[in-house]
Structure formats: structure tokens, C-alpha cells
Amino acid sequence: MTSDSKPYSGEQRDGAPLPAGGPKPPPGPDPTPDPRAADAPVGESLAKDAWRRLTQNRAAMASLGLLIAIVVVCIAGPWFLPWGLAEVDWNAFGTGPTLENAHYLGTDANGRDLLTRVLYGGRVSLSVALVASFVSLVIGVLYGAISGYVGGRVDSLMMRFVDIMYSLPFMFLVILLMVVFGRNIFLIYAAIGAVEWLDMARIVRGQTLALKRREFIEAAHALGVRDSKIVTRHLIPNAIGPVIVYVTLTVPKVILLESFLSFLGLGVQEPLTSWGVLISEGVDMMESAPWMLLVPSFFLAATLFCLNFLGDGLRDALDPKTR
Amino acid sequence: MLSYTLKRLLMAIPTLLIVITISFFLMRVAPGGPFDGERQLPPEIEANLKAAYHLDEPLPMQYLRYMGNLLEGDFGPSFKYKDFSVTELIMQGFPVSLEIGGLAILLALLVGLPLGIAAAIRRNSTVDYLVMGTALTGIAVPNFVIAPIFALVFGVLLAWLPAGGWNGGAWPNLVLPVVALSIQQIAYIARMMRASMIETLGSHFIRTARAKGLSETEVIWRHAIRPAMLPVVSYLGPAIAGIITGSVVIEQIFGIPGIGRYFVQGALNRDYTLVMGTVVFYGVLIVLMNLIVDLLYSALDPQIRYDD
Amino acid sequence: MLSRQLIAALGGLALGALASSAQAFSVNIANGAEPGTLDPQKTSGNWETRITRALFEGLVTYTADGSLVPGLAERWEISADGKTYTFHLRDAEWSDGEPITAEDAAFALRRVLEPAIANHNANLYYPIVGARAINAGEAAAESLGVETPDAHTLKIHLTQPTAWFLQALAMTEAAPLPEHAIDTAGEHWVEPGKTVSSGAFTLSEWQPQARIVVEKNPHFHAAQDVALDRATFYPIDDAGSALNRFRTGEMDIAYSSVPSSRFAWAQQHLSDALQVGPLTAEYFYMFNLREGQPLADRRVREALNLAVRREVITGQILGQGQPPSTWYVPHGTANAPSGQMAFADMPMEARLKRAQKLMQQAGYGPDHPLRLTLNYNTLEDHKKIAVAVAAMWKPLGVEVALVNSEAAVHYATIRQGKFEVARYGMVATINDPFDFLGAYAKDGSASRASGYHDADYDALVARSTRELDPQTRQRTLTQAQQRLLDDYALLPLYDYVSVHLVSPRLGGWESNPMDVHPLRYLEERD
């Protein structure tokens, strides 16, 4: 097998040390990452290093650019559009994209400008995605890593708690939150984050169970590195691949979950809207007014594509094994 | 292993007890009741209805009554489907949901895993981009969009398959719902498998295996795939529990007589007994699936052990 | 040898199937949802009564166009004081061959009032002597004011004359029930194989969430006039799905399958199947009239009514042909009162001007805008209408906060009176203005929810019920409605319409205000 035909030759792109062919490499603890090296104040250089690798990934950089563009357009765009969020054009109910009256992407069934609504909706959906994914990431990763690393009775109890959270009827949980805290958009974020961390926790725990018996973790242990440090410096970074991928999968989930909450009356209230809500409105009009489905779907899809390539790039950049 | 399994099964009892108790009170303090509908009932009639379902008793009494019946295996009558007990509803619908969901999971694994592995092996190649692009589209299009499009295109416009209906589970009626249900799962599984495979292929023990002079095929099949399955398996536990209990969207759009609708409609109708039935049923499934997943961990990666 | 027999048998089967399918007339019906029960006294919606009506025949019943005709009762007399109804039952049989007797009819009326049955519409039978006490659990069912002098005669005694009482008897709730079958089968007696029916059809199959089949009842008293052999009901709760399956030809009738979002499309492509007609149902916004509420002020209520351009809502947003209404009782209702809100004929500009003036008088202006919350339950059309109404109120300086919630929460909010303006749909159970006007009278559901109290109005409604002369009654009803309208106690938007799809090959199906479509009149067109 020649080097060219190696299917995973991508690994070499970053100059990762491949074991030399021929003679057997000396057996021993995984050379990367070196547990002692991690003790050194390397935070800044790690971040710099990761950033450097990220900038070299063209797909990731293009995605980052487009993502920033989408965010900027959603934030600033509505100021430059002639129509307001709730403003009704009494002469244009459900019309298709047209230059007339500046309805560039058409209007909805209430005569409101669709582009304007999609941009406002983007603010909601993107912030839900950001906050809920972040909450689920932080809780899920820490919870999962601790549960898996400590193991034994603690692991067992922590995972039974996860089982309980899975089984509770989500809808009533949210309705009750609303009763207690009132209608509040931050509550939506919290509620969504509060359920989405469960999968993340189980995935990270699974990875941790596999990693903690590996030589480099045991070596770190033997060297007397503190548990908290082992978890944050060794376990989590080594589980980062599935974590990042799962985050990119969480984003579409939470954006759509928000539309379900809106259906229950627990999400955003009119005239405010979100991509999920716009898409579910559009499905109804699929045959007669396809733009109502296509426009918000396009924005959502573009965002997801970008997040995905960015996620892959980040994964590569952060991967301790290829560093 | 056996004692671990037994211990986990024993622990399921308090877990479920907590779930049932929290759910019961959570549901009852939520605003809106089973008789709040477009037609506002006169007080006398509402009183009759409440008495008929013992809703006129103090809440703790109702809880004790419910737990007592539950111990005897009685989930009570559904409020909305008055002619049926909750047990009947679940037992009639579950086989259907299991069939649709099971087929969807199977399809998702059969398609998703190979795609993910292929994409990982040919990383950053055309194959990779093609597979991942398709997978992303599957994720970006929610199933309340996919399902109506499928029904319209394949059911009505092309008329290749029935636009809906169960028809006793005849295969033409299964195709659209199963495919619609699996698309998102295929995408998830392919994405996760690819990432995890890349991770594994870069790890030390694979390099060791390669260095030992094993062929690539051998390295991948004998050493890489099993550990790479870990995150997918972690995800699959709860995902399977979710999918075999049906999807309200798929069931409504394709007219499938499964139990997915009961989870959402039961809650929307405040059909208290039906909601509790679904909670208990789902809780049991979650506990079992997560147990199976944990047992699979050690099968996939012998380094994982559980301290009994 | 064996195989030849088998082939012969199979051939015979196939031939038999062919022959019967050539003759049998059957229809598939997309029915909104899965019935929770087919016990005619426990039903709660039209997806159930569409089936129970095929199984159980009332003393009086409906024709295809929704008018009342004799059913199991051949004829009846009403005493001069309007308090005694005497029904003469025809010779008819249950589907098991047992005779249908007056005792079966009396049994049904006693049963519907039993507290344990917890019937939703039991209050419609409160006019019968002793009924209310029975329903409240204070008296035995036997004390009900019904008599059966002989097997074919049923006498019902009322506490006071009740103009709409025959309408109440036309409901499937009041249809005679087979006491003998209920005794043997117990609580779940309406199941295939157990149930005994009096209607044109019998129940032959029920696969929960999949389908319900009814077949022609040879014992039905007018069996020779029934063309339909079999109807299959499919519980399809997604309108889009019902529409799809109608388009493929699988369904012959699809109830409520064309939402406003697809109506224009259906008009173009399915015009020969689209059936639209007025309903006895009203879409309106309920005001909270309690002391201290912003809408306790009549001027504000009038201004809000003035500013709403109802024809934009029915024309631009819904477009299904709903009549925009400035009245409360839908015009499709039998004996509907006349009259409407005073501004109905004013041009829009003048209306807006007046509305602005009224708002000023009520103390609202640019520095002190009226802030209102508008509640609606989750549904695309409700949302669109609420958004449009909020925009129409904007020129008055009204700032509206829209609050949507799922149905259970929405109706609980209304019941508890914790709202300012709330979307409401009043659907008549009987074809009479009383259902609408009674709701705003003392102890009525709308009165309890909105806090509307007016002794004169209550008196008018009570009198209209007792009044037996149709013309005098009509005048009283008109007076009552006008009081409500002049008070701007609510904001009517439009009369509902029914929108169904019916295959053009079917005859004997007509749109009607009660939206009842007895299967026995269906016929096959050539």
C-alpha cells in the first residue's frame, strides 16, 4: 500500500507525526498529549495554535465568514428594510417575491414582509441555538466527564438522575416553568438547554469510560495530577471530537424544538417569530406559496452547513492527537 | 456482569418511582384541565365529569389511588378514549410504533454507519463531502417538512405509494413513514460515526496496529470500528427509546395507528391517565435502553469495566 | 384432487368477491379524529357523532339538508300549554330483531341524566320534570317526568314550555337505547359483535386509530330506502393528509380537509368536490367586562368594534366565504334573529373617526395608550386573525400584546376570567339561537367567563325560551340580541362555514348549518 493511496491521508495534512514505516516504534504510553506538558501554562499558546490551524482550513474559514455574515444581516438588516416586523401591507397578502413595494422575498399570509420577518426570526433562532447549545454543552460535558471519571456509586446515581430527566414529560416541565417564571424568552433557552444536555452527558460519559483506562490518563494519575485537572486537561480534550459533532447536531434540534414550544404557546409570541415557526407556517402553504417554506429553510440550512464545516475545522484544530 | 445487571434493574424501581411521582404532580399543577375545551361546561356537568374520574378528591388521595392501581398493573381508563383503558391503547399501538421505528432504526444503521465509515476513511475527498452534504440536508430539513413532501410527491403526484394509512401494515404503507423517520437518524448516525472514526483512526493503538504491518482493511474492521461505535451507541440508547415509541408527526401525516400521538395529544388533552401511562412506559424503555448501552460499552471496548 | 377443490373454492371466492364488489356501494370517509367512544351518550365531538348517528336513530332525526323529520317516532303531539310531548313510536326493530319500545326511549332519557354517565350536553334535557335534580345526584333516575302508557307511546313532561326541546331530542344523546343489550354487554357495549343498533347501519369493525366500518342494517325501519352498503371511517386528524388521500381517490368524503391556506388551491383544482356552507357557529372575541377592566368601558368596546374591518379578515385572510358578522347569532341558524351593530352601514372612514373620538373620550391618547392583551389558542388561522386585528386597532393607539396558548390553557384562562380579550368559537349543539344567547344569560358559560350581567337581557332570553308562537319568539330573540349588540358586549367577526370535500360521484349529501350528514341518504350518481 503506497502512501498516496492511504485513505486517511488527511491526517498528514497538518504534519501529524505518523509512525515511521518499517521498524516497530517503541511501545509505551501515548506520547500525545504528554501529561506533564499539560501542567505547564500552555493555555494561550494552545488557543493560538488552534486558531492557526483553523485559519488554514479553507472550508471552515469560509463557513465562519458566512456565519458572521448571517448574524450581522440578522442583527443589522432590519434597519435597512422599509418594512417593520409587525407592519401589514394591506395590498399584499401572501404575494410572492417582488420588487414592488420592496417585498424582495414576498409577504406572509398576513401581508407582512417575509425578509424582515426571517431576519427578526434569525435573531431569535440564532440566540436560542447559541444559548441552549452552550448550556447543554457545558452541563453535559462536565456532568458526563465527572460521572464517567469518578465512576462507581456516583456514576450510577448521576446516570439514574439522567434517566429520570429523560422520562419526565417535557411539555409539563416547560408549562410549569412558565407558570413559575412567567412568559420569558430566556426561559425557552433554559428549558431547551435543560433537556438537550442529557444526550451530551451520556456521550461524554461513554467516551470518558473508554479514555480513563488509557495509559496516558493512568500515567497522569500516577504522576499525582489532580483529578479536576485530569478531567479538564486530558479527558475532555480527548473527547472533543464527538462533542463538537454533537453540538453541531444539537443546533438544528433546539431551533426546531423552539417552534414546538411556540406551538404550545411557550415560545416566542407574535409578532416576534423564529425560523422554526416560519418553517412550520410555510409547510402549510407548500403548494400555493412555496417561498414561505423555502426562504426560512434556506437560512436555516445555510446556517447549519456553516456550523458543520466550522465544527469539523474546530475539531481538527483542537484535536490533541494531531497537535 | 450479571450482578451488575441485576443491581441496575433493582435500581430501576426507585428511579421509576421518582419519575412517576414527579410527573404526577407536575401534570396536575399545570394550568388547564381535561374538560377545558371550546364548549365551556355548566358547573353541574363538570362536577359529574370530575366525580366520574375521581378528580374531585384531594390530590394526595388521587396519587395514592393511582399508585395503588398501578401496583395491580392498572393504568386506569383514558379520559379522551373513554372506551379504552390506557393499557389497551399502549398495547394496541406499541407493536405498530415498534415496527415502524425498528425498521427506521435498522435502515438508519444500515445506511448511516457505512456512510460515516466511508466518509471517515476517505476524509476530505469527494465521497466525504457528498456524504456529509447529504447528511446535513437530512438534518436541516425537519420531519414535519419531509413527511408532507413525501406524502405529496410520492403519494399524490407520482402515486407510487399510498399517501397514508396503515392497511394492516402492508409493506407499501410502511415505506414512506419508515424512510421519512429514518432520514434524520441516518444523518445523525453518519455524522457521529465519521467523527468518531476519524478520532479512532488517529489514536495511538491504531497506529500501533498499523505499525505491526496489519493491512488497512484489517485495521479498520478488527480494531477501529468497534471502539468508534461508542458515541453512536451512547446516542442510540435514548434515541431508540424515542423512535420505537413513535413520532407524532409521522403518525399523523401518514395515518399510522401507533402510540407516538399519545405523548403529545395526551398532554394537550390533559388526558392524565394516558400521560402517566406513556411516562411509565417510556421511563421503563429508557432505563432498559441505557442499561443495554452500558453493557454494550464493555463489549465494544474491553477496557471499560464497571466497578460492582 | 385436493388442489382442484382448492382452486374451485378460490375461484368461487373470487367470483363472489367480484359479484359483491360490483353491486356493493361503499364509501371511505376521512373523519377528523379517532372516536374515544361510540356510546352515543358519552361522545364529545362530531368525529364521534358522525358515526353514532349512523348507528342510532332518534325519535326525531335529520334529513340530508339538516331539517327535522320523524325518526323512530312516527308522529307526536305537543299539548296546548307546551309542557307535554306525546310521541307515537313506529313498529321498528333493533338490529338483533328485538322490538324498539317506548321503554327503550324512556331508558335513554333517564340514562343520559345519570351523573355517572357524565354526559356533556345533559343540561339540554333539564326542561324535563326532575331532570336537573337527577343530574345533580339528588334524585333517583326513576323520578324523571317520562311515562310509557304502552309500548308505542312515550309522554315527556316539561317544567315549562321550551321552544327548542325537539331540537334537543334530535341529538344522538336522546336516541332510544337497547336496554337489553346494555344489560348483557356492560359498560363497553358499543363494540363490534356486542352492540345492537337502531339506525341505518350496524358497527362491524373497529380497529383503533386505523378504521371503523359500519354496514347496512337490514332491520332498519327504512332499510329499503338506504342505498349505501358500507362506510369506512378513517381517523385522519391531519387536514393535509385527508386532502392528499382524497386527491388519490382513496377517500370519498373528507371532512374539514381544506384549511384556509389551501382553499384557493382547492377551488382551482377540486371545485366539483368542494362543499362550502354556512354553519351554526360564530367566531368572536370575548371581552372581559368586569369592573376595573379596560373593557368595562362601553366606549372602548364600541371603538374596538368600529375599527375592525371584518371583510378583510374573511376575504383576504380566510377566503373561504365566511360572512363577516356584526351580529352574534349566525345567520344560518334556524329562527335566527335579525339586527346588527349600529355602525354596520357606516363607511370605514367615518367608523375610524368615531372610534378615535370614543377612545379620546374614554381617556386614551398618544401619551396614554390603551394596552391590551389578546389571547388565542394555537392555530394558524387564529394567529393570522389576531395579528390582523391588532394591526387594525393600531390607528386607535391600542397596543396589543398577543398571547397564544394551547387549547387547554386557553380555555382554562377564559373559564377563570383571567383575560382582557380572548378568541372564542361558539358552536351550536342545537339548531336554535338559544345556544348562543343563553350563553350570555345568567349562569351561561359566556356570562360566567366575561362577567356580563344584565337582568333585562336575562329576562328576554328566558321569555324567548318559553314563547311558543314563532313570530313573537323571533321578535323577543331579536330584542335580546340587540341588547347585547348595543352594549358591544363582544366583538363578532364572522359566521363559520363548513368546508368539506365530497366526491362528485355521491348524491344525497348536502351542506347544512348543523353539519349533519346522515349516511342513509347517500346515493351513487352515474
Supply the pTM of this predicted model: 0.87
pLDDT (tens digit, 9 = 90+) per residue, C354-376?
Answer: 999 999 999 998 888 999 999 99
CB pairs under 8 A between B and C: 153
CA distance C237 to chain B (A): 6
> Is 70 exceeded by the pLDDT of residue B17?
yes
**Cα separation, C35 vs B178, whole angstroms:** 26
> Is 50 exceeded by the pLDDT of residue C33?
yes
Cβ contacts (< 8 Å) between C264 and chain A: which residues? 288
Lowest mean pLDDT among A32-41, B170-179, C441-450, C506-515: A32-41
Mean pLDDT of C175-193: 91
Per-residue HEC secondary structure of A263-286 comes to: HCCCCCCCCCCCHHHHHHHHHHCC
Cβ contacts (< 8 Å) between B158 and chain C: which residues? none
pLDDT band for position A85 (cuts 50, 70, 90): confident
pLDDT (tens digit, 9 = 90+) per residue, C427-443?
Answer: 999 999 999 999 999 98
C-alpha cell of residue B6 = 441485576
Closest CB from C261, C387, C406 relative to A270: C387
C-alpha cell of residue C66 = 339538516
**Structure confidence at residue C4 (pLDDT):** 42
Q: Are strands C506-507 and C523-524 parallel, antiparallel or unpaired?
A: antiparallel
Q: Which residue has the cell 367567563?
A: C449
> Is 70 exceeded by the pLDDT of residue B212?
yes
- Give CA separation, C460 vs B222, C47, C455, C467, in Å: 88, 35, 9, 10
Cα C175 to the center of its chain, rounded Å: 17
**Number of other CB atoms surrounding residue C50 within 10 Å:** 24
**Yes or no, beta carbons of C380 and A264 under 8 Å apart:** no
The b-or-e profile of C353-372 (16+ CB within 10 A means b, else e) is ebbbebbeebebeeeeebeb
**Structure confidence at residue C377 (pLDDT):** 92
pLDDT band for position B307 (cuts 50, 70, 90): low
pLDDT (tens digit, 9 = 90+) per residue, C384-403?
Answer: 999 999 999 999 999 999 99
> Is 60 exceeded by the pLDDT of residue C22?
no
Cβ contacts (< 8 Å) between A285 and chain C: which residues? 261
B-contacting residues in A 215-254 (Cβ below 8 Å): 241-242, 244-246, 248-249, 252
Q: Over pLDDT 70: what percentage of chain C?
A: 96
Q: Is B51 on the interface with C (CB under 8 A)?
A: yes
**Yes or no, beta carbons of A11 and B201 under 8 Å apart:** yes
**Yes or no, beta carbons of C237 and B166 under 8 Å apart:** no
Cβ-count burial of C199 within 10 angstroms (0-12 exposed, 13-18 middle, 19+ buried)?
A: buried
Residue A219: φ, ψ to 5°:
-65, -45
Average pLDDT value for chain A: 77
Q: Which residue has the higher pLDDT, C294 or A77?
A: C294
Cβ contacts (< 8 Å) between B307 and chain A: which residues? 151-152
Mean pLDDT of C484-504: 96
**Yes or no, beta carbons of B140 and A297 under 8 Å apart:** yes
**Structure confidence at residue B305 (pLDDT):** 67
**Yes or no, beta carbons of A169 and B192 under 8 Å apart:** no
Find the helix or strand (DSSP H, E) in which B218 lies: helix B216-218
Q: Which residue has the higher pLDDT, A179 or C254?
A: C254
Q: Which residue has the higher pLDDT, C98 or B308?
A: C98
Max mean pLDDT among A31-35, B30-34, B220-224, C428-432 falls in C428-432
- DSSP for C92-138 reads -B-TTSPBP-HHHHHHHHHHHH-GGG--TTGGGGTTBTTHHHHHTTS
**Structure confidence at residue A187 (pLDDT):** 76
**Yes or no, beta carbons of C245 and B49 under 8 Å apart:** no
**Structure confidence at residue A23 (pLDDT):** 35
Q: Over pLDDT 70: what percentage of chain A?
A: 84
Lowest mean pLDDT among A3-17, A223-237, B247-261: A3-17
C-alpha cell of residue A118 = 426571517
pLDDT (tens digit, 9 = 90+) per residue, B123-147?
Answer: 878 888 888 888 888 888 888 888 9
**Yes or no, beta carbons of C406 and B32 under 8 Å apart:** yes
Cβ-count burial of C204 within 10 angstroms (0-12 exposed, 13-18 middle, 19+ buried)?
A: middle
Q: Which residue has the higher pLDDT, A234 or C252?
A: C252
pLDDT band for position B206 (cuts 50, 70, 90): confident
pLDDT band for position C513 (cuts 50, 70, 90): very high
ipTM entry:
0.89
B-contacting residues in C 156-175 (Cβ below 8 Å): none
Cβ B40 vs Cβ C411: under 8 Å: yes
**Structure confidence at residue A322 (pLDDT):** 55
**Number of other CB atoms surrounding residue B84 within 10 Å:** 20
